[in-house]
Amino acid sequence: SYTTDSKSREENKNTLENLYSLSVDITKIRRLKEWVLLQDVAYVKEIAGILQEMGADETTVANIIERCPEAILHTPAEINSQKALWQLVCQNEKQLIKLIEQFPESFFTTAYQQNQKANILFFQELGLKNNIITRFLTSAPNIFYNPVEKNKNVIETLQRNYLNLGGSEANMKIWILKLLSQNPFILLNTSTAIKDNLEFLQKNDFTDQEVLHLLSKLKGFIFQLNSTTMQKSMVFSKNIFKCSDQELKQLVLKCPALLYYSVPVLEERLEGLLREGISIAQIRETPMVLELTTQIVQYRIKKLSALGYDIKSGNLESLNGTKKDFEVTYGKIQSKKERPIFNPVAPLHIED
């Protein structure tokens, strides 16, 4: 919304002087967003003043402006309104200034203040904790740009489907809050997309209980898919594993990644595993290994091989899980390897 073809293409000297006085690295701004320096009006001192009132020191102020130069083009009134909005969910100004320093672009997007406020209040009514809402504001700010009615509509669709699939009224609130916490981007979907994806699963003979299980396992990612990509992924998996429809269904329930990842991603991961000497039979036994990138798999195999553990002859469970899960598995294998072959405190039975 700012003009880059202003009457004069010269940088605003007043803006430059004010930025110099705050020890801002202007070369960074020129490299990132030089157009900011060409604007006729900027509120450098005023915005710096608001940040300093919140407890930001000179270095923090300079850092914020360098990372988000368009901050200085907002009026003090806009920034004070934004500050009041974020204070609805921030514990104090110290926490707020820390968030602004980490996520300046999220804070300095002020075009949707009415929608932001309505959505913050809606999420609070829904029962989301303030620390979760601040996480949304910083990592998924665009969900606040929707009119609140749109977000309400998506939530109502989810609630209705949860109950239709046999979920209990008592657990519904916990389920919705958990789903939102794991993946707030489900709010960017339309109610129609949600309905279509659930119908696709039911048409593929997943029972209501199984669909509910998949919704929880996929952390809401299912709502970002479409029936065409899911169908292609399922056909690919069926051909690779040479299994029946019923067997494929069990594999998908065990590893929803078979539904979620596109064919090129699944192909790449399968090829990576086969290159390591792992068989299709092993992958079919432990399909969850396809949730890991090829790089992670290679790293884990290398670490296990160094302990003398041959992944080709065992099952793939030892590769699975989060980084923390793998470290626990690795630790157990390591301690087993280092354990003495005899018990030093046990009595020795020596034949005469």
Instruction: Let me know if 136 is exposed, middle or buried by CB neighbors in 10 A (0-12, 13-18, 19+).
Output: buried
Q: Tokens 């490299």 sit at which residue?
A: 31
pLDDT tens-place string over residues 46-100: 999 999 999 999 999 999 999 999 999 999 999 999 999 999 999 899 999 999 9
For residue 290, the 8-state DSSP code is G
Residue 183 pLDDT grade (very low, low, confident, very high; cuts 50, 70, 90) = confident
Supply the pLDDT for residue 339: 60
Q: Cα–Cα distance between 86 and 172 in angstroms, integer?
A: 28
Residue 16 neighbours by CB under 8 Å, 6+ apart = 26, 37
Q: Average the pLDDT over 161-179 and give the result.
A: 90
Evaluate whether 255 touches 283 at the Cβ level (below 8 Å).
Answer: no
pLDDT tens-place string over residues 99-131: 999 999 999 998 899 999 999 999 999 999 999
Q: Average the pLDDT over 269-291 and give the result.
A: 91
Residues above pLDDT 90, as percent of the chain: 58
Instruction: Let me know if 156 is exposed, middle or buried by CB neighbors in 10 A (0-12, 13-18, 19+).
Output: exposed
The CB-side HSE value for 211 (13 A sphere, CA atoms) comes to 24
**Amino acid code (one letter) for 337:** K
Q: Which residue segments constitute the domains of the chain, with CATH numbers given?
A: 10-110 (no CATH), 111-220 (1.25.70.10), 226-337 (no CATH)
What does 87-118 look like in DSSP terms, one character per residue? TTT-SSHHHHHHHHHH-HHHHT--TTHHHHHH
pTM of the model: 0.76
